[in-house]
Amino acid sequence: MPERVSGTRRHGWDLFLTGFAMLLLTALMGDLAAALTTGTGAPAPPRATGPRDTPTPPRGIALNEPDRFEPPVASRAWKSIVLHHSATSQGNVASIDAVHRKQKDRSGNPWLGIGYHFVVGNGQQMADGEIQPTFRWIRQLAGAHAGSRDFNESGIGVCLIGNFDERAPTAKQVAAVRELLRALARHYAIPRERIFRHLDIQATLCPGRLFPWDQAVAGLPLEPKGS
């Protein structure tokens, strides 16, 4: 006659089976979740880091990147650089563009838009020290900034926002224009003697009596690259 199983032993056996079943169910649910995640039944791999995960760089031009100022089209034969101020306390590419579109050349034709190739902000409507290329630089068009055909055709026009007859440019503006001049001079073999203030080529006070000329051109090569 088989031995009878006591109620206590049977109860313990039932608890064991219930616990085992729950463990098995938990494991199966975990495998199912992994399969739904990856479609393969394997645990999901770590998410790869790609360009979309890279922090958005600040606006403007990063001065420490080589050839950052190189245009997207074939370059003109640039021979000089001309520095200007906007003669306004604030501004940006769009505001100067709006004003310049109202100008006309000697033949009575309206300007295409902003006459400069680069604009350097002062913290008012542009970030302080921010450098923005204009459509003339991007498309490598002649400028409309120097009052001289030769300098417009072969001179890169750089405008710093501010009225430098009233207040000197900010430290960040000076640092930015120094880096811009250095990069352009190096890339286009422009010696220091071919970098001008607007007043050097036309009867004007631009870029203002407080513009730190010596500081802006300090360290630039006197001779063109390769001479």
Same domain, 36 and 84: no
Same domain, 202 and 106: yes
Closest CA to 159 of 139, 171, 149, 144: 144
- Is residue 69 included in any domain, yes or no? no
Return the pLDDT at 124: 97
- Is residue 61 included in any domain, yes or no? no
- Is residue 119 included in any domain, yes or no? yes
Return the pLDDT at 8: 46
Contact in structure between 83 and 207 (CB atoms under 8 Å): yes
The pTM for the full model equals 0.70
Return the pLDDT at 87: 96
Q: What is the pLDDT of residues 176-223, one digit of tens each?
A: 999 999 999 999 999 999 999 999 999 999 999 999 999 999 988 877
Q: What is the pLDDT of residues 8-51, one digit of tens each?
A: 444 454 554 555 555 555 554 555 444 444 444 444 433 333 33
Residue 38 CA neighbour count, 13 Å, CB half: 13
CATH number for 178? 3.40.80.10
- Is residue 127 included in any domain, yes or no? yes
Same domain, 112 and 34: no
**Distance between the two ends of the chain, CA-based, in angstroms?**
115
Same domain, 95 and 35: no
- Is residue 210 included in any domain, yes or no? yes
Same domain, 127 and 186: yes
Return the pLDDT at 160: 98
- Is residue 35 included in any domain, yes or no? yes
Residue 23: which domain range? 1-45
Same domain, 38 and 130: no
Question: Three-state DSSP class for 94?
Answer: helix
Return the pLDDT at 224: 60
- Is residue 223 included in any domain, yes or no? no
Same domain, 101 and 5: no
Same domain, 198 and 132: yes
Same domain, 128 and 209: yes
Structural domains of the chain, count = 2
Same domain, 9 and 90: no
Q: What is the pLDDT of residues 109-137, one digit of tens each?
A: 888 999 999 999 999 999 999 999 999 99
Same domain, 85 and 37: no
Return the pLDDT at 18: 55
Does residue 227 or residue 150 have the better pLDDT?
A: 150
Closest CA to 172 of 163, 161, 183: 161
Q: What is the pLDDT of residues 75-113, one digit of tens each?
A: 999 999 999 999 999 999 999 999 999 988 888 888 899
- Is residue 55 included in any domain, yes or no? no
Same domain, 118 and 19: no
